[in-house]
Structure 1
Amino acid sequence: MPSQTRISLLLSAALVLPGAAFAQDDVTTLQEVILSGGLTPVAEAGYGRAHTVIDAAEIAARGFATVQDALRAVPGLSLSSSGKSLTALRMRGSETSHVLVLVDGVKLAAGGDEYTLSGLETANIERIEVLRGPQSVYFGSNASAGVVNIITRKGEEGLHYGGAVEAGNGWGASAFVSQRGAQGGLFLGLAARDDRGFDVSDDAGGDKDGIDRRTLTFSGDYALSEDLTVGFAVRRSDETYGFDATGGYWDPVLNMWIDPADEAGYLVDSNDTSDRKETSGLVFAEYAMLEGRLTHRLSWQQSKLDQRFNNPMNSNSIGHSEALKYRASFGLDGAVDGADHVISLMIDRQRDTNTLQPGLDRESTSYAAEYRGRFDALSVQGGLRHDDNSVFPSANTWTAALSYDLNESLRLHVSAGKGVVNPAYAELYGGFGQVGNLGLNPEVNRGYDLGIEASFLDGRAVADLTYFNERLQDEITWTGVPGPDGSNYFNQTGRSTREGVELSGRFEATETLALGLSYTYLDARNPDASRELRRPRHELGLTAGLQTFGGRGNLGLDLRYVAGNWDTQYYGAYATAKLPDYWLANVSASYDVTDTLRLTGRVNNLFDKDYREVWGYATEGRTAWLGLEAKW
């Protein structure tokens, strides 16, 4: 195996320990990792952008029950939760709407707005790809800071089935069945979780605000001939969650929201609930010509988010997005799958609708081109995109990246690009007491990063250090007091700056002990040099995994430290204040009772730490879970 591929595989398996018989079925060993980081799939070993891959084995080993839990361990990401049902994801100091979340390449932000993480489960996920830096050339608007692409399981050769159950502060269960042969296969996955949660308002005797969620995943592909393959993927989630209402009221005379006098009056224990239904899917056909040198892919995809509340004070909404995409790729020196030089062209037609603003549909037609080349130790990637928008001015974006193997143990990676984010429906048209601004400009992000990846001690230790620098023009900001034009949204004048350092590492200390490290330093500023909120200055993660009982058992420890985080207190003097720094500890364990049956356990917030990610919102205390997994 090339040394670069070995390095990439080690980085993407941050806590996976070798030797456990059960775990070996979950990971593809000694095979090259392929990313969805371009118009066509990209080999991780030559990918020039900073990225992280969390595979199914790592998810299981570290006890991640939800995607948001898994993402907290990734360099460059910061997550802030207002209870279990509302988690904002930011990348390199961006806004939530600047990070595009996908499942199997289909965006979840239906209706053109941002996607908020809720109870999105990790069951039946093959891996999570986190691609940092402007990605609008490949993925369009809302990918100006990066992309999180969740890849669901497709199944292995033959017939396989299994499931898992666990109980603790509620219960969870999942099951799957797959059949795969030489021409293709089918995968069906089911997941259910009733997490009782906790009282977000932290009132004495208050009700718990939990999540009850059900998800179905169904996918398949089939080779109709040697050159033509068709396939589909469908995902449906139904979720009901509880939350607590905020105090205060809307004053029609002053035309503004009046905040509560103190923290105790800010979050009021209530029995408010919301039903959230997510549907996404795609169908595709791929056709190869000229012995594989020219390939075509045609796909249609859609996503829908139906959000309804039991309290009429909240606004129900249905967002819908659909896209028709065509891509042609040509291998200049051979079949596309193995060529060193590939040129790709894409046409992308998208449409968004939202019931909050009926009749105000948004459409765009985009054209993109990419060149990808490999020259011995050097890999390069570059792309251009032009968006014709029905509502906004046309936009042009670009990207460039290179990866260079300095020697067998050192790799340099560099990337730069420009991304755009179109204003959301609420920002343009307002709603629920808010006044929109039809004069908003799209946000434009320009950024670059420079990193070096190194291996030591015959590959037992691997580290990656990346410096990033991004400049956001026309950042859209909400204000509680309407501005001179009467709206609650405006473009900031000047550039918002984000720069920092991302560090990740892994050390196989012994044959049974693996240690991991992740660290992010971030300085995110508004154009007036004030600090951006809910973007911690320091985030540190330390992991340890110990193999026990001759390889049948595993113990895992996760430590996380967060410091330098600021947020606004929406009560009293409406002050911006620093949140307390904190440490969190999570532990996980597993034991293979047989080759097909595994006992699992995990404890989150081991020391029952009281901390805050958002002012006014409590966080969950210590919880313990015990489970069983089986597969055949």
Structure 2
Amino acid sequence: MLKTSLLSSAAVLAFSTTMGIAQETFALDEIIVSGGLSPIAAQEYGRSVSVVTAQEIQDRGISTVVDALRALPGVSVSSAGSGFVQVRMRGGEARHTLVLLDGVQLAGGEGEYTFSGLQTTNIERIEVLRGPQSVVYGSNATTGVINIITRKGTVGKTYDGTFEVGGATAGSVFLSRRDERGGISLSLSRRSDPSFDQSGDGGERDKLDRLTAVLSGDYLVTDTLKLGFVLRRSKEYFDFDATNFAATDADSYIVDDTTLMGHSKEVIGSVFAEYAMLEGRLVHRLAYERTENKARRDGAPQTQTDADVVKYRLSYGLDGNTVAEADHLLNVMLETHADSSPMTPLYERSSKSVAVEYRARLSGGLDFQAGVRHDDNDLFEDATTWNVALSYLVPNTDIRLHSSMGTGVLNPSYFSLYANAFGYTGNPDLDPERNKSFDIGAEFPVLQGRGTVDVTYFDETLTDEISPVSLGGGAFTYGNQTGDSTRKGVEIAGNLQATDAVALRMSYTYLNAKNPDGSVEIRRPRHELSLGATVETFGGRGQVAVDLRHVSGNYDTQFFGTYETAELPAYTTVDVATEYEVNDTYTLTARVTNLFKDEAVDVWGYGSPDRAAYVGFRANF
């Protein structure tokens, strides 16, 4: 504990001394696409958000979405093998985080999204919204939203690709054609990763292979009508090891002498139409979204979950300006949402929702957002959620204050409602989980805009958390916990352009997450620190990026022996990436992950990837 505190304090002090801490680990673009019922300018947005851009992904040699998320404040990643990776935000459960691709949910039905081998190839940006987002996105957006926005291309023709070998073999192709009115794009990517032995005993590697295709297009049919679509299909095959519940220690918990296999298929699609009236003061948007997930593990019956969503949004400039320029904007959304599973007729439910959002750009540098949503559910209690947010630019300074409050809701899962397998019996009388949150922060630019510091305090309270309940004799059901689960903490993040050639970045999260009985929540580290630097080399034709990540104060239950909850060992990993621009067409790349071979264990019994090296190239035609 003392070592971690000294390390984090030293990192913050070092950045403060050079006066170079920025609002987020990654610089915010001008518009936050996912921030509300319609996009919003970053400086006007009062809620906590991080944006990872394609340029930052490229510069740091990040190959998976999970690795892009690890360095963000308020985000915790845990891995129980290459095929099961969970992401938690602000101490919530993984199921409390809604994951989207181009605004469409990646997980069908009500389940959480398991990231595993999701690649960063041909991603334009990743927006991470912390705190309840249920007003905009409904159930599952209880503690935050991750929206992965794919690349669409620029005006003209684009042809490029990447290839990499080493610790894994990966390749991608991107094609697009656009003009001033719109265009179409296609991206293909494949990654074959021999991965590592999940047991950590140096046995057979548990492989992972993923193939993804994304086709998207949009076109301004008339000056007032825009049509568009997105279609994505992904297949993944992975190996995993069996677990031994009769084990007495971590070394014997994962059985590495038998390799089990699983596969998953993901299909999402959306079509939309936008129509502007009254010279742009009134805009209608109608969209249909479809998600299908299929999965099978070790010859077990295939599971399938689907989701169908229809959304209508009306945006109106209350002050007579266009929707894009309005100082007072009203958004109204109507939504129908249906979940189902063709494999199990009981797994069906639907809801009808209405949401209203008001935004005001006031004089004196004050921006205000407020929203409310009501969900009419067919199976269980209806829900009403709300949020408010403020952003204030202090006059005659570049200091920005921001704060938000709100509520989120998570509907019970199919399994917790209707389970009749693996010793579990469902409970159809479960209530939805509810989260109440507030945060407050300040952003302080320094060094004439070369750096800023942002510090945010957050406080979240989860009520009616759904957990397994023992019935004795190895039988279980589910119930709503009595009391509140509390999550409090501080997020610090920043960057600094130290010199024309050297850029620095950092983030630090302190989290105190407790169950209603006062026990610590598992797989939520108390301390997470990330430090990074990018240095231009070869006269600007190349660069080197170094990223360090330290994790400590992480607890997990040992699902063996006496089932004790104990603290996992702290770890520090270092990644290095470099690139060199040979000419306008080709760029050579190389990187090394986990340079010093530290054992980065997030779950008791599961090993972590060893050091791995990669070389490759990018080609832009």
Q: Normalising by the residue count of structure 2, what TM-score does the alignment of the two structures yield?
A: 0.94
Corresponding residue for residue 453 of structure 2: 463
The one of 535, 544, 548 aligned to 1:546? 535
Whole-angstrom CA distance in 1 between matches of 2:289 and 2:31: 25
SS in 1 for 2:619: strand
Corresponding residue for residue 369 of structure 1: 356
SS in 2 for 1:121: coil
Q: CA deviation at 1:12?
A: 6.2
Corresponding residue for residue 400 of structure 2: 411
Whole-angstrom CA distance in 1 between matches of 2:528 and 2:280: 46
Partners of 1:12 and 1:54 within 8 A in 2:
no
SS in 1 for 2:59: helix
Whole-angstrom CA distance in 2 between matches of 1:432 and 1:415: 42
SS in 2 for 1:240: strand
Q: CA deviation at 1:13?
A: 7.4
Corresponding residue for residue 438 of structure 2: 448
Partners of 2:227 and 2:272 within 8 A in 1:
yes
Q: Deviations over 1:120-163 (max 9, x none)?
A: 11001000000001100000000010100000011101111100
SS in 1 for 2:534: strand
Corresponding residue for residue 174 of structure 1: 172
Partners of 1:505 and 1:517 within 8 A in 2:
yes
Q: Which amino acid aligns with 2:277?
A: M
Q: Which amino acid aligns with 1:241?
A: F
Whole-angstrom CA distance in 2 between matches of 1:586 and 1:316: 38
Q: CA deviation at 1:33?
A: 3.1
**Structure 1 residues 544 and 455 mapped into 2: Cα distance closer, same or farther (>3 Å)?**
same
Q: Deviations over 1:500-554 (max 9, x none)?
A: 0000011111110111110000000011111111110000000011011111111
Superposed structure 1 runs of 4+ greater than 4 Å apart: 9-13, 483-486
The one of 95, 98, 114 aligned to 2:96? 98
**Structure 1 residues 138 and 445 mapped into 2: Cα distance closer, same or farther (>3 Å)?**
same
Partners of 1:35 and 1:44 within 8 A in 2:
no
Q: Deviations over 1:419-462 (max 9, x none)?
A: 00001111111243122221211000000000001110001111
CA RMSD for the aligned pairs?
1.9
Corresponding residue for residue 607 of structure 1: 596
The one of 206, 210, 215 aligned to 1:218? 215
Corresponding residue for residue 120 of structure 1: 118
Partners of 2:22 and 2:443 within 8 A in 1:
no
The one of 56, 59, 64 aligned to 2:57? 59
Whole-angstrom CA distance in 2 between matches of 1:195 and 1:125: 20
Percent same amino acid at aligned positions? 49
Q: CA deviation at 1:356?
A: 5.4
Partners of 1:216 and 1:237 within 8 A in 2:
yes
Q: CA deviation at 1:486?
A: 6.2
The one of 413, 425, 428 aligned to 1:424? 413
Q: Deviations over 1:449-508 (max 9, x none)?
A: 0000111000111111000000000111135x3369964322110111000000001111
Q: Which amino acid aligns with 1:589?
A: T
Whole-angstrom CA distance in 1 between matches of 2:556 and 2:308: 36
Corresponding residue for residue 313 of structure 2: 327
Q: CA deviation at 1:355?
A: 4.4
Unpaired runs of 5+ in structure 2? 1-18
Q: Which moved more, 1:330-339 or 1:119-128?
A: 330-339
The one of 508, 511, 516 aligned to 2:497? 508
Whole-angstrom CA distance in 1 between matches of 2:404 and 2:47: 6
Q: CA deviation at 1:116?
A: 1.2
Q: Which amino acid aligns with 2:355?
A: A
Q: Deviations over 1:60-101 (max 9, x none)?
A: 111111101110011000010001111111000000110000
Q: Which amino acid aligns with 2:108?
A: A
**Structure 1 residues 97 and 493 mapped into 2: Cα distance closer, same or farther (>3 Å)?**
same
Task: Map 1:81-92 onto structure 2 (within 5 A).
Answer: 81-92=79-90
The one of 290, 295, 300 aligned to 1:302? 290
SS in 2 for 1:84: coil
Whole-angstrom CA distance in 2 between matches of 1:482 and 1:562: 36
Corresponding residue for residue 276 of structure 2: 288
SS in 2 for 1:61: helix
Q: Deviations over 1:566-623 (max 9, x none)?
A: 0011111111110001111111111111122111111110001123110000001100
Partners of 2:556 and 2:604 within 8 A in 1:
yes
Corresponding residue for residue 26 of structure 2: 14
Whole-angstrom CA distance in 2 between matches of 1:244 and 1:523: 32
Corresponding residue for residue 240 of structure 2: 243
Q: CA deviation at 1:54?
A: 0.2
Partners of 1:13 and 1:58 within 8 A in 2:
no
Corresponding residue for residue 381 of structure 2: 393
